[in-house]
């Protein structure tokens, strides 16, 4: 018997009071984070399928309950509660704003697909002009400074708990004046740091902070340990949950053997791995970094150390959350980007189980209704992963996972 998970979808139609519309929702999909280690984090989104046969969401209709209020830009919260679990509060899976509604009316059915996006959409529209960064500071400190600018103010100066900003390792120099798009500038700082910047809607929610809305992690920052081990074994050990699918990749997605990085001084720093180029041909990564020449060269050397050889990698793991025990289901629903997990896989025909520590890079939920009377849900979760040593590789036949040390980047 699996866990009973009740999913709640609520919209603040009047701008402040959240209305539970779960009894009309038949399916919800959520996606945020990134698919691969070197991808940029992009705006997270949710798509909610709403049964509109009573016209309750039809704008201007006489039967409309919600359609005659403002719909676009209203806040949406999607949360879950595990029956019999230990949490004293709902776990928020996603928080965002309505950006679009698509109505499909047929002879006997009517549905509305509600599209919700997270705060990246707002940051992508924010700009600052002629801003003076008059002192050298670590990348994470500069990120926090940008978020606090009056023209950005994200998420809200009144809600400091919605930020989790690492200080960072790499120093970015004085810059006067700077005019830029807020998100573009922050992502350039993130590339400089080889870090992670995301609007993070999963996680262990509390009554005041709905899931850690904003997170920034510096290079080599510690992971968030959730105590979850995914396994393909038919008989599971203590603390393990069953994975229904595992995606392995081997190819050139994470293969670079030459770098051309431009420092904040305008100087171009280059380097190559000759042995890798001889085998695979030259594959160049180019970046403009907000740091000095030395740090830029170190970043290039770091790249070659990580990505000059292709390896088998686990790119994602899939599991049915509602098939777990209540305790394990809660742990999975608390997982978010940068959560730690262990993956164990026995390749067909092999006697050696591969086991490694991984990080979550992206989260996808497909939520459908199991019981309309109680809103009990079927939840299939897919977590995009990278190796906990930041390489994103799994060495074939080597249960140690990788030959590279955990802390490789220059300090």
Q: What is the pLDDT of residues 196-212, one digit of tens each?
A: 898 887 655 455 555 55
Nearest Cα to 6, choosing from 94, 113, 78? 78
Q: What is the reported pLDDT for 52?
A: 92
Q: φ, ψ for residue 375 (rounded to 5)?
A: 65, 20
Q: What is the reported pLDDT for 211?
A: 54
Q: What is the reported pLDDT for 408?
A: 33
Q: What is the reported pLDDT for 411?
A: 30
- Name the pLDDT band for 10 (thresholds 50, 70, 90): very high
Task: Find tokens 């509390």 and name the residue.
Answer: 206
Distance between CA atoms of residues 162 and 209, nearest Å: 6
Instruction: Specify whether the CB–CB gap between 201 and 117 falls below 8 A.
Output: no
How large is the average pLDDT for residues 286-307? 90
Distance between CA atoms of residues 294 and 40, nearest Å: 24
Is the pLDDT reported for residue 143 higher than 60? yes
- Which comes out higher in pLDDT, residue 238 or 328? 328
How large is the average pLDDT for residues 288-308? 90
Judged by average pLDDT, the poorest of 65-74, 179-188, 351-360, 392-401 is 392-401
Q: What is the reported pLDDT for 407?
A: 32
Q: What is the reported pLDDT for 231?
A: 87
Distance between CA atoms of residues 77 and 10, nearest Å: 5
Give the pLDDT confidence of 343-360 residue by residue, as tens digits: 888 878 878 777 777 888
Question: In terms of DSSP H, where are the helices of 46-115?
Answer: none
How large is the average pLDDT for residues 327-339? 89
Is the pLDDT reported for residue 126 higher than 80? yes
Say if residue 255 is preceded by a cis peptide, omega within 30 of 0: no
Q: What is the reported pLDDT for 404?
A: 33
Give the pLDDT confidence of 244-284 residue by residue, as tens digits: 988 888 778 888 999 999 999 999 999 999 999 999 999 99
- Residue 98: CB partners within 8 Å, gap ≥ 6? 11, 71, 72, 73, 74, 76, 114, 115, 116
Is the pLDDT reported for residue 392 higher than 70? no
DSSP 106: -
Q: What is the largest CA-CA distance in the chain?
A: 72
- The chain-wide mean pLDDT, for the chain, equals 85
- Residue 222: CB partners within 8 Å, gap ≥ 6? none
Q: For CA atoms 334, 335, 336, 340, give the dihedral sign.
A: positive
Question: In terms of DSSP H, where are the helices of 156-291?
Answer: 182-193, 274-280
Instruction: Specify whether the CB–CB gap between 370 and 347 falls below 8 A.
Output: no
Give strand ranges (E) for 106-174: 110-117, 127-133, 137-138, 163-165, 171-172
Instruction: Specify whether the CB–CB gap between 196 and 217 falls below 8 A.
Output: yes
Tokens for 340?
């730690």
Instruction: Specify whether the CB–CB gap between 48 and 114 falls below 8 A.
Output: yes
Distance between CA atoms of residues 345 and 154, nearest Å: 41
How large is the average pLDDT for residues 229-243? 82
Q: What is the reported pLDDT for 403?
A: 33
Task: Find tokens 């990348």 and name the residue.
Answer: 139
Is the pLDDT reported for residue 169 higher than 90? no
How large is the average pLDDT for residues 45-60? 92
Q: φ, ψ for residue 321 (rounded to 5)?
A: -65, -40
Distance between CA atoms of residues 121 and 250, nearest Å: 33
Q: φ, ψ for residue 122 (rounded to 5)?
A: -70, -45
């Amino acid at each position: 018997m699996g866990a009973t998970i009740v999913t709640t979808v609520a919209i603040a139609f009047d701008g402040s009071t959240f209305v539970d519309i779960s009894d009309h929702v038949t399916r919800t999909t959520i996606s945020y984070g990134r698919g691969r280690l070197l991808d940029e984090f992009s705006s997270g989104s949710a798509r909610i399928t709403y049964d509109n046969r009573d016209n309750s969401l039809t704008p201007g209709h006489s039967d409309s309950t919600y359609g005659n209020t403002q719909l676009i830009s209203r806040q949406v919260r999607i949360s879950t509660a595990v029956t019999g679990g230990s949490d004293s509060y709902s776990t928020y899976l996603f928080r965002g704003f309505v950006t679009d509604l698509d109505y499909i009316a047929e002879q006997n059915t009517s549905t509305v697909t509600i599209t919700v996006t997270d705060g990246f959409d707002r940051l992508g529209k924010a700009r600052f002009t002629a801003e003076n960064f008059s002192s050298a500071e670590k990348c994470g400190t500069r990120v926090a400074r940008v978020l606090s600018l009056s023209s950005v103010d994200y998420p809200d100066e009144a809600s400091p708990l919605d930020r989790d900003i690492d200080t960072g390792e790499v120093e970015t120099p004085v810059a006067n004046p700077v005019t830029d798009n807020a998100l573009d500038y922050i992502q350039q700082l993130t590339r400089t740091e080889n870090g992670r910047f995301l609007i993070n809607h999963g996680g262990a929610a509390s009554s005041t902070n709905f899931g850690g809305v904003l997170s920034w992690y510096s290079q080599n920052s510690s992971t968030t340990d959730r105590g979850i081990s995914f396994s393909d074994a038919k008989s599971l050990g203590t603390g393990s949950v069953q994975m229904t699918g595992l995606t392995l990749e081997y190819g050139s997605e994470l293969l670079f053997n030459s770098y051309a990085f431009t420092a904040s001084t305008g100087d171009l720093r280059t380097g190559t791995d000759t042995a890798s180029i001889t085998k695979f041909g030259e594959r160049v990564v180019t970046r403009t970094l907000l740091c000095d020449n030395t740090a830029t060269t170190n970043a290039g050397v770091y790249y070659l150390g990580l990505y000059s050889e292709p390896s088998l990698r686990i790119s994602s793991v899939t599991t049915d959350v509602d098939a777990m025990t209540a305790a394990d289901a809660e742990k999975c629903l608390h997982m978010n980007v940068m959560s730690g997990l262990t993956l164990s896989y026995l390749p067909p025909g092999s006697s050696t189980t591969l086991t490694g520590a991984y990080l979550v890079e992206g989260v996808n939920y497909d939520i459908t209704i199991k019981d309309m009377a109680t809103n009990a849900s079927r939840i299939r979760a897919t977590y995009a992963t990278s190796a906990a040593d930041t390489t994103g590789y799994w060495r074939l036949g080597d249960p140690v996972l990788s030959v590279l040390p955990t802390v490789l980047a220059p300090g």
